[in-house]
Amino acid sequence: MHGVAADVRGLGDEPGDHQHPDADPASAMTRRGAHISQASARILFMQDHLRSAAGGESVFRGLSVYTGNAHPRFAKDICSYLDIPIGDVDVFKFANDEIFVQIKENAREHDVFVVQSLVGPSVSDAIMELLIMLDAFKRASAGRITAVMPYYAYGRSDKKDQPRVPITARLLADLIGVAGADRFLTMDMHQMQIQGFFSIPGDELSARNLLVEAFREIVEKDPDGVVLVVPDLGYANVARRIAEALEIPLVFMQKTHRDNSGRSEVVAVIGDIERKRAIVIDDEILTGTTILNTVRILKERGVKEIYVACTHALLAGDAAERLVASGIVKLVTTDAVPLRPSAAATGKIEVLTVAPLFAEAIRRIHEGESVGVLFHPPGLQLPLQVN
């Protein structure tokens, strides 16, 4: 690049004494073009110098993490593991129910991560907060914006399975991209193909390694007496990997939805469930109807101890109380969504934190490292280094 700059300076030399600068209009235009080329070369040189100093990677002024009001505790836990302060931003509602966002610090050219689980009490508010924050950071000239959604809403609306219905999961993905997100980061979507709805790159983390370790002790006590049960065939691929890691058999429950109420019915059992203990696993639990039907069938087949696990414990209404009353030993879930106080008060819900996993993923994205290593055990106790 130094050679190029030198060549450009040569092209920009003034003509010799034998020629007047203004004698030839064509020569004057050539000189102006040479000066422009010289300026362009200097800019390119500086850009090349910056890339070389950064090891070939793009340069950001810093790493910043912000959050809306859906699950602020989780964002603060991420920042704690990254050893950085949570970003300063105002997100609130006016009297007319409109949402207002103002970034209270300079975000220009920062690598910005907006953490927002798309959960209630108002899913619509959580989505609008995220979209408005993305737009605010885009207009604040952030260097790169990543939408971090530990729970991605509308995952069940991923296909047109009835006449005249929307594919809202795709609509939401489009909105996130248009609002200003350059990347997305999420965990255990309801269906893996939802990744393809986005027109921006992203990563989908999984809690399966955490769940494997949570149940390993139970399996080791009686390896031949435990079975893994999947009440939803949509979770079959992830469940298969968990069953292989625990080295226990896998049983599928085939369910159907009779209407749009959210209630489901188990219509078939695939596999042998003649065991003393069963682990029922799914990606999310909303009303709990599917899990309750599965628990009932397992008890009818003579299973004595039943454990339940999921990544996202949404637990709408009295779902938590009904699950506890069904006789399960405990429910194991993650903190990707906030647990309602009434659900936590049942005493039978164990919450595993995935904040370190998200923190490490954010660090790797910021540093330009591979995120793929996080999908292989252990992958959870990696050194956290933020430059």
Active site residues: 255
Task: Tell me which residue of 69, 66, 146, 75 sits closest to 105, measured CA to CA.
Answer: 66
Bond prior to 121 in cis (omega within 30° of 0): yes
* End-to-end C-alpha distance for the chain, whole angstroms: 28
Give the full edge-to-edge strand order of the sheet including 277-285: 265-270, 250-256, 226-230, 277-285, 305-313, 330-334, 349-352
Supply φ then ψ for residue 137, to 5 degrees: -70, -35
Structural tokens at position 249: 């058999």
Residue with tokens 């050679």: 3
Residue with tokens 């920042």: 79
Residue with tokens 């990543």: 146
The one-letter amino acid at 92 = F
Beta strand pairing call for 265-270 and 250-256: antiparallel
Residues forming a β-bridge with 90: 102
Query: What are the DSSP calls for 88-120, one per residue?
Result: -EEEEE-TTS-EEEEE-S--TT-EEEEE----S
Cα-Cα-Cα-Cα torsion 157, 113, 358, 159, nearest 10 degrees, comes to 10
- At a CB cut-off of 8 Å and minimum separation 6, what does 122 contact? none
How many Cα neighbours within 13 Å face the side chain of 117? 26
Describe the chain by its helix, strand, coil percentages, rounded to 5: 40, 20, 40
